[in-house]
Amino acid sequence: MNRVELQAMAETERNRQKAFQCRFLCCVGTPCLSAGGGVVQEALKQAIAVQGLDATVEVVGAGCMGPCSRGPLVRVLPAGGEEAIYEHMTPEKAGALVEAFAGPGCSSFPEESRISSDSPFFGKQVKIVLSGSGRVDPDRLESCVAEGAYTALAHALREMTPEEVCQEVVRSGLRGRGGAGYPTGVKWNLMRKAQGERKIVVANGDEGDPGAYMDRTLMESDPHRVLEGMALAAYAVGADQGYVYVRGEYPLAAQRIQRAIQAAERQGLLGNRILESRFNFRVDVRMGAGAFVCGEETALMASIMGRRGQPVPRPPYPAQRGLWGLPTLINNVETFGNIAPIIQHGGEWYAGYGTEKSRGTKVFALAGKVSWTGLIEVPLGITLREIVFDIGGGIPGGRSFKAAQTGGPSGGCIPAAHLDTPMDYESLQELGSIMGSGGLIVMDDRSCMPDVAKFFMEFCMDESCGKCAPCRGGTVQMVRLLQRITDGGAAPEDLEQLKELCLLLKETSLCGLGQTAPNPVLSTLRHFREEYDAHIREGRCPAGVCDLSGNSME
Amino acid sequence: MAAVTLTLNNELISAREGQTLLEVIRDHGVDLPTLCHLDGLSERGACRLCMVEVEGTSRLLAACVTPVQEGMNIRTDSDRLLRYRKMLVELLLAERSHVCSVCTMNGKCELQALAVRLGIDHVRYEALHPALPVDASHGRFVLDHNRCILCGRCLRACDEVEGAHTLDVMGRGVRSRIIVDFNQPWGSSFTCTGCGKCVQVCPTGAMVARENIAGRVEKRPDFLLRILDGRQKRVWRW
């Protein structure tokens, strides 16, 4: 396939879609499917078949639409008219919906279960990475191409040198979306200059933070967006092999990516002589086996090579010596999701969003005690208050906001006093948290902070690979100390010991897991010290969560 | 090979390019403690005891995996480092059942010697005492998981020097354990050559030969270098 044929494919598909009087897009992401989305899709298809509307109405799968807790979601696109999203769909409601849209020229939307299009949940969002999610059918290449997939790649291969692609990414100010926030353009330039017989590009989809599912959604909803980003990266740095590392718990994402690779290869959009250029790029999927630490880049590479997934000391960095000794570029799946729009619209356009040092948009998985949970994409620099109270719709049940945890087990909490903090890499770090990969868990006044710290510490203890002594032994001891605090059996010196262990892990651990594992403890100690004191000195839990009678001790 | 100049504990010293900080520090008479490092094996960087302060970086660096650079200013004996070293050894002691009085390596154990050197007279952390098995199925060697500190010397010796790769690690975190082949009794292993290198390099009483138990023989972890020098450089030193 060449550039002209790609445009023709897009045109054909757009015309095909326009021919329908009405299109039903059913979310086929994991949250909606687990809420019964598959049955709803079948019911829609059946209702249409019964009414003999196959020629005028289409039912297709589409990716994530955002408010995941309201699934199964169905987007209705009548020809020429406005669109609507319906929540909590059931097979019964599906039949009624078909009835309503069956007649010719119908444009009156039934109000039942309809999500208002001016809902504040959508108002403050800017969809760049997720622009295709919920609109394209992830299992059909044509559908993705109709929305512009691979046009940025076609443009870059024809009009841009690899240096120019790197420069465009530098100009965009994009920073790594995996959590550390290293400037992507700088990384690509280093990688482009690295010497190696061959080079490799890896997409890190080993998303392990509790409650975070940005990468999964992108891989499930718009796999070609990720693959195109990887191909652009490979062109920019001179790589000819790519791996998408998908965590073992994401079978659907792996399947979608795998199918997308096959479809793209068949059409000459991946593989050899891509778009009839001299650029070759092959992509393979590698599945993890359930270890959180494999999100760390050196452990991830060990896992791809079939070894035990545990980190090795850096340097050498992957760009110097990575997979099988070859220079390797590792970026997060979401980072790759930003590349095609940047090349298509230019780095300056992208840099127009966000703040001075944190450009662009970020996808967050909004979870916990808010009315609207789900997946959101917002410009960086938006305040936490806007996310929680405007997009999230506030705390349900008349409760009050207590804190939000960003960055999962490597991050920290942000208390109510800092609700107006802009969400950018530096501001979050100043508060003792991190941007992280995008998990955002909102807690109300019924959460006990030492208990929350214990939860994350237990997670780190379970996920420590066991290689280095401070992380292996230290996390266990920290869990024991936190257990004692939440059981009411702690002495004041236990808190000192806890703080000392925090510093030990932070400063001596081998990899990021151990170095950041104390963050939840440090940040709750910083913002909610009085809760620790209440547990230890007064024997009470202010939030009423912990049983301090000591009965829960083993 | 080019020479580099650096400062070690306020003293100006020189080193060869390509050396690790640990080599340089030890060459200059500072006995930086280590447990996972062993001359002749690849570096694992796991025990974190050789962490040093280097001026200009806020992070501590593990000396065994850090190459020397011109102009480095290194400290090996700050209060912070001594405190961390002590904590790390205490964590290791709390992790399994290190009861020296009933250990065959009592008096010859590297962990014990290090604890004495660092002035550890008690352990501040809760002892975990997991109930771990002892594998005495091999005719000549015994593997006691209760004494293991997971330094990984045995599996590197088995893989890198003997070339058998009989030993590896299973599980993760605090539940990690050294295993033989696919976690089977040592005596039933077909890949084990019975060379005993793992036993010789083990710093504690986790791996011992039956003659160690009787107290007749001491371990000789330095023999690895003799093998490797002979094999690679054709130099035989006895």
Q: How confident is residue A83, by pLDDT bands cut at 50, 70 and 90?
A: confident
Q: A281: closest CA among A336, A338, A234, A333?
A: A234
Whether A80 has a pLDDT exceeding 80, the answer reads: no
- The answer to whether residue A130 is domain-embedded is no
Interface probe, candidates B172, B182, B183, chain A, greatest A C-beta count within 10 A: B172
Q: How many CA atoms lie within 13 A of B139 on its CB side?
A: 6
- The answer to whether residue A125 is domain-embedded is no
Q: What is the pLDDT of residue A139?
A: 96
The 10s digit of each residue's pLDDT in A343-379 is 999 999 999 999 999 999 999 999 999 999 999 999 9
Work out the average pLDDT over A247-270. Answer: 96
3-state secondary structure of B40: coil
Query: Which run of H or of E encompasses A85?
Result: strand A84-86
For residue B171, which residues of chain A lie inside 8 Å, CB to CB? 466
Q: Give B137's DSSP letter.
A: -
Could you give the CA distance from residue A185 to residue A31 in angstroms, rounded to a whole number? Answer: 33
Work out the average pLDDT over A7-21. Answer: 94
Q: Are B40 and B161 in contact (CB under 8 A)?
A: yes
- Residues present in chain B in total: 238
Could you give the CA distance from residue B132 to residue B174 in angstroms, rounded to a whole number? Answer: 12
Sheet holding A74-78, edge to edge: A57-62, A22-27, A74-78, A84-86, A114-115
Whether A194 has a pLDDT exceeding 50, the answer reads: yes
Whether A192 has a pLDDT exceeding 70, the answer reads: yes
Q: Are B148 and B205 in contact (CB under 8 A)?
A: no
Cβ distance of B84 and A464 shorter than 8 Å: no
Domain made up of B84-233: CATH architecture? 2-Layer Sandwich (3.30)
Work out the average pLDDT over A423-438. Answer: 92
Work out the average pLDDT over A243-249. Answer: 96
Measured CA to CA in angstroms, residue A531 lies from A450, A503, A526, A551, A552 at distances of 7, 21, 11, 20, 19
Tell me whether A308 touches chain B (CB under 8 Å). Answer: yes
* Model pTM score: 0.94
- The answer to whether residue A127 is domain-embedded is no
Domain made up of B3-77: CATH architecture? Roll (3.10)
- The answer to whether residue A128 is domain-embedded is no
Q: What is the pLDDT of residue A104?
A: 61
List of residues 6+ apart from B24 with CB closer than 8 A: B6, B8, B13, B15, B68
Question: Final residue of a domain: which of A315, A349, A383?
Answer: A349
Q: What is the pLDDT of residue A100?
A: 83
Query: Which run of H or of E encompasses B167?
Result: strand B167-170
Query: Could you tell me what percent of chain A has a pLDDT over 70?
Result: 98
Q: What is the pLDDT of residue A415?
A: 96
Report the residue of chain B nearest A464, measured CA to CA.
Answer: B173
Q: Are A285 and A244 in contact (CB under 8 A)?
A: yes
Q: What is the pLDDT of residue A554?
A: 42
**Which ranges constitute the DSSP H helices of A291-385?**
297-304, 333-345, 347-351, 384-385
Whether A551 has a pLDDT exceeding 90, the answer reads: no
The 10s digit of each residue's pLDDT in A479-527 is 999 999 999 999 999 999 999 999 999 999 999 999 999 999 999 999 9
φ, ψ for residue B105, nearest 5 deg = -95, 10
The residue type found at A144 is C
Q: What is the pLDDT of residue B48?
A: 97
A316 and A224, same structural domain?
Answer: yes
Residue numbers of the domain that contains A25: 16-117
Q: What is the pLDDT of residue A98?
A: 86
Could you give the CA distance from residue A209 to residue A472 in angstroms, rounded to a whole number? Answer: 19
Q: What is the pLDDT of residue A106?
A: 58
Work out the average pLDDT over A85-106. Answer: 83
Q: What is the pLDDT of residue A481?
A: 97
What does the block give as tokens for B79?
A: 């209060």
Q: What is the pLDDT of residue A226?
A: 97
Question: Final residue of a domain: which of A387, A410, A444?
Answer: A444
Cβ distance of A465 and B172 shorter than 8 Å: yes
Q: What is the pLDDT of residue A103?
A: 65
Measured CA to CA in angstroms, residue A85 lies from A21, A34, A114, A118, A344 at distances of 17, 18, 6, 11, 28
Q: What is the pLDDT of residue A78?
A: 86
Tell me whether B94 touches chain A (CB under 8 Å). Answer: yes
Count the neighbouring beta carbons within 10 Å of the beta carbon of residue A517: 28
For residue B156, give how far its alpha carbon lies from the nearest alpha carbon of chain A (Å): 13
Whether A417 has a pLDDT exceeding 90, the answer reads: yes
A460 and A428, same structural domain?
Answer: no
Looking at every residue in chain A, the average pLDDT score rounds to 94
pLDDT less than 70: residues of chain B: 216, 238
Report the number of distinct structural domains present in chain A. 4
